[in-house]
Structure 1
Amino acid sequence: MHRTRSAMASLAACAAALLVAGCASLNSVAVDVSSQGSWPADRKPGSYAVERLPSQQANAAEQDRIEAAALPALEAAGFTRVPSEQADVLIQVGARVFEVARRDPYMSHWAWRNDWWFYGARRPFFHGPGFGYAPGFGYDYYDIPDYQREVGILIRDRRSQQIVYETRAAYSSRWTSEALLPAMFEAAMKDFPLPALTPRTVTVALPPSAR
């Protein structure tokens, strides 16, 4: 029975690996995007500088990586990076990823278990209910992690210090890749600066490195 259980667990692990490999072969992702702002209709994207929160300054290497991932999306929207004193707008960018464990019914299975405690009548030797220990079939669950990613861009007019545009994107999957960050920033800036339905789903292509 132990061999049967081990074989079934190995089979489930292989299936999980195949699932991850299949997800990694996707060519695009559908990202949930929410945007708000008061960007003037006749204002063109211009020069920008990045400003950092104290927490971002304390983790400069990580923030450098996040800002590098956002750069292509900002350039595609028409922005050009310059020193702070020359910028039309100041931009903050952020990102985070976290895991949420979820029990997957497709990866779970019935298996022989020899560690079940039960509560019930024990007859004929004993009368009345009681606790006992017995082997039997049970259901083994597999916790599959969901990776939740979020990115955000905040645009502030440098002279007035007013926030003129804010956009956020979120994506959840069972696989993760650093190449997702640029794609999510692209989705977040996809409709800039036009008014758009919020929230909405934006589909963007993944770079070859993430497929």
Structure 2
Amino acid sequence: MASIRWKLSLTVLGCAALLGGCASVREVQSDVQSFSTLAALPSPPTYRLELLPSQQANAPQFASIEALAQQSLAKVGLQRDDSQGSLTVQIGAQARYTRDFASYYGPYGAYGPRWNWGLGFGRGAGWGMGFGGFMFDTPPLLHYRAVSVVMREQRTQRIVYETSAVHEDVWTNDPAIFGVLFDAALSGFPNPPQGTRQVRTPLAVSGPAQPAAVQPAAPARP
């Protein structure tokens, strides 16, 4: 991963361009892991979306994530049909940020203060904070965004597709990032490269980036 200082420089330049009234295009790099036993699109190519208890409890906040996932599923040929879907689909999303002192200061950063805050749907939520050492400046926030999709064959409940996508950067632009991540996670469906790969997606930016508005969710069932 590129150094935090390098990413910060790019972010400053990008913000300057945006403040100057010029739209820009950023490349979003996603780390994707996919595993599939599907040979082709299911017949019919339909799915039932199964919401976890934490997602149902936060339905108004989760609606935007659900809509983005549904759009990405439609792009790969799957249509939602909660009454007669041939697949059962579960989705998840995470948003958190941290200050990566180790990358910013080098090996001595391991003794510096650490901040970590996170919210998620379907994977639980948590936060933590600790202090140690003495620092003269503060590294930028590193934003972490992740999504996951699990598909089961409706008739047998056998898992036939599992995929996830992760993006980390000092810059973020939600909810657009979550849409990009769902697209990246489903790239190659139904026969993606097995295992880990990187997917790069251009994203048009027309305004200042903002942190995600994902709300807290209760821990999901195992």
TM-score norm. by structure 1 comes to 0.69
Give how far 1:55 is off: 1.3
Cα distance, 1:165–1:45 mapped onto 2, change above 3 Å: farther
Give how far 1:143 is off: 2.7
Q: How does 1:23-102 map to 2 (within 5 A)?
A: 25-41=24-40, 43=42, 46-82=45-81, 84-102=82-100
In structure 1, distance between residues paired with 2:80 and 2:35: 22
Equivalent pair of 1:46/1:80 in contact (CA under 8 Å): yes
Secondary structure in structure 1 of the residue aligned to 2:168: strand
Cα distance, 1:19–1:145 mapped onto 2, change above 3 Å: farther
In structure 2, distance between residues paired with 1:69 and 1:43: 21
- C-alpha offsets along residues 38-89 of structure 1, whole Å, 9 cap, x if unaligned? 113474570112111111111112221111111221011001112x221111
Query: Are positions 1:156 and 2:155 aligned together?
Result: no
Larger mean Cα displacement after TM superposition, 92-101 or 198-207: 198-207
One-letter amino acid matched to 1:160: T
Cα distance, 1:53–1:174 mapped onto 2, change above 3 Å: same
Equivalent pair of 1:20/1:174 in contact (CA under 8 Å): no
Quick one: which of 195, 198, 201 aligns to 2:198? 201
Give how far 1:197 is off: 3.9
Q: How does 1:185-200 map to 2 (within 5 A)?
A: 185-200=182-197
- C-alpha offsets along residues 93-137 of structure 1, whole Å, 9 cap, x if unaligned? 1111111112335xxxxxxxxxxxxxxxxxxxxxxxxxxxxxxxx
In structure 1, distance between residues paired with 2:141 and 2:158: 39
- C-alpha offsets along residues 18-52 of structure 1, whole Å, 9 cap, x if unaligned? 25626984432111000112113474570112111
In structure 1, distance between residues paired with 2:197 and 2:185: 10
Quick one: which of 12, 16, 26 aligns to 1:18? 12
In structure 2, distance between residues paired with 1:90 and 1:42: 14
Secondary structure in structure 2 of the residue aligned to 1:166: strand
Which runs of 5 or more residues in structure 1 are unaligned?
Answer: 1-14, 106-137
Equivalent pair of 2:39/2:191 in contact (CA under 8 Å): no
Higher strand share: 1
Give how far 1:169 is off: 0.2
Secondary structure in structure 2 of the residue aligned to 1:150: strand
Instruction: Choose 1 or 2 for highest CA Rg.
Output: 1
- C-alpha offsets along residues 135-191 of structure 1, whole Å, 9 cap, x if unaligned? xxx972223110011100111111111111010000000011111010110000111
Give me the CA root mean square deviation. 3.0
Tell me how many residue pairs correspond in the alignment: 166
In structure 2, distance between residues paired with 1:85 and 1:52: 14
In structure 2, distance between residues paired with 1:22 and 1:204: 22
Secondary structure in structure 2 of the residue aligned to 1:32: strand
One-letter amino acid matched to 2:84: Q
In structure 2, distance between residues paired with 1:149 and 1:94: 11
In structure 2, distance between residues paired with 1:29 and 1:43: 30
One-letter amino acid matched to 2:29: A
